[in-house]
Structure 1
Amino acid sequence: MNEKVSALLNDQINKEFYSAYLYLDLSNYYSSIGLDGFANWYDVQAQEEMSHAKMMYKYLHDNGVRPEFAAIAKPDKEINDIKDPVRIGLEHEKYVTSLIHNIYAAAAEANDYLTMEFMHYFVKEQGEEEKNANDLVNKMELYGSDPRSLYLLDQELAARVFVAPTIA
């Protein structure tokens, strides 16, 4: 495997675990103010990010690269109101999309077609992640200041369940 590509994938494992930490932090905030549905939504999001890290970990191993783990940074986002976490989530998903695109571009430059195929899943996944995060921001902007609507949105988010991702 190309050294630059494997280094980017290895770094992305750490970024995925950081994403899980960030989403657990957002879940923690919502739990602390009694919005358990929002907390659930971000808890499921954290589980997804951990599964993405594991997928990349396995991919590196399957291709003869031993991943090296780095320290996971503490989330440092400041939350001042109930709308901040959803905005933070969208901003973070856009950042992750840029990282995924960088890995894909490096694989393309190296003519690493196997990694390009592997990363195709994550390119598509990031499109869905950004849409979901953007939809949540829009819903909070529309309903977040109305207690009854916020209650209904919280109930909707409580229904989300984790489904382990697979690459077909």
Structure 2
Amino acid sequence: MKKKMLKALNEQINAEMFSSYLYLSMESYFQSISLTGFAAWMRAQVQEEMMHAMKFYDFVNERGGKVTLEAIDKPESTWDSPLAAFEAIQKHEEHVTNLINDLVDLAISEKDHATNNFLQWFVSEQVEEEASVGEVVEKLKLIKDNPSGLFMMDAELGKRVFTMPAATE
């Protein structure tokens, strides 16, 4: 693996770890305001982001590269409202989509077909991530300050459970 690609993949591992850390911070925020369904949704997201980091980690190792772990930035810990938290998630996921797209562009320019192929799963995953978060944002906008709506949303989000995706050959 070329050095430039290896460096970029190591940076992505850090970005995925930060995502996991950010969602863990959000889980704590939702626990602190007694929205346990929102917190459960975040816990599933924490696990998903950690799985993403490990997919990159394993790929780098499979390709004979060396994983270099760096410090993870401190995430925010409070938000003005559940809507503000999910809008922050939406912005963050758009950022991650840009990071993945940049990796794809680099893989193409480096003629690294194996990495490009690997990254296509993440391209599809980011479409799903943005759609999922966007749906919650739109529902929270409809709810506004309605406590009944918020409690119903809390119950709905609490049903989410992380499921490890099936291995693909």
- Common fold: TM-score over 0.5: yes
Query: What pairs with 1:130-145 in structure 2 (closer than 5 Å)?
Result: 130-145=130-145
Does residue 52 (structure 1) correspond to residue 52 (structure 2)? The answer is: yes
- CA-to-aligned-CA distance 1:73-112 (integer Å, 9 cap, x gap): 1103651223211011000000000000011110011111
Task: Read off the aligned partner of 1:20 and give its amino acid letter.
Answer: S
Distance 1:104 1:2 in 2: 14
* Aligned ranges 1:29-68 → 2 under 5 Å: 29-68=29-68
The letter of the residue matching 1:87 is: E
Structure 1 position 4, deviation (Å): 1.3
How many Å separate the matches in 2 of 1:113 and 1:167?
20
**TM-score, normalised on structure 2?**
0.95
Distance in 1 (CA, whole Å) between partners of 2:38 and 2:78 is: 17
Q: RMSD value over aligned CA atoms?
A: 1.2
Alignment gaps of 5+ in structure 1: none
Aligned mates of 1:149, 1:5 — CA distance in 2 = 46
* 1:98 alignment partner in structure 2: 98
1:52, 1:86 → 2: CA distance? Answer: 20
TM-superposed CA distance for 1:3, in Å, is: 1.5
Q: Which amino acid aligns with 1:2?
A: K
In 2, Cα distance between the equivalents of 1:140 and 1:90?
A: 13
Distance in structure 2 (CA, Å) of the matches to 1:37 and 1:133: 15
Counterpart of 1:14 in structure 2 is 14
Residues 97-139 of structure 1 show CA distances to partners (whole Å, capped at 9, x for unaligned) of 0000011110011111111110000000001001111111101
Number of corresponding residues: 168
Indicate conservation of the 8 Å contact 1:51/1:165, yes or no: no
Moved segments of 4+, more than 6 Å: none
* TM value normalised by structure 1: 0.96
Partner of 2:89: 89
Gap regions ≥5 residues in structure 2: none
Q: Distance in 1 between the 2:31 and 2:58 partners? A: 33
Corresponding letter in the other structure for 2:96: V
Q: CA deviation at 1:145?
A: 1.6
Q: Secondary structure at the match of 1:83?
A: helix
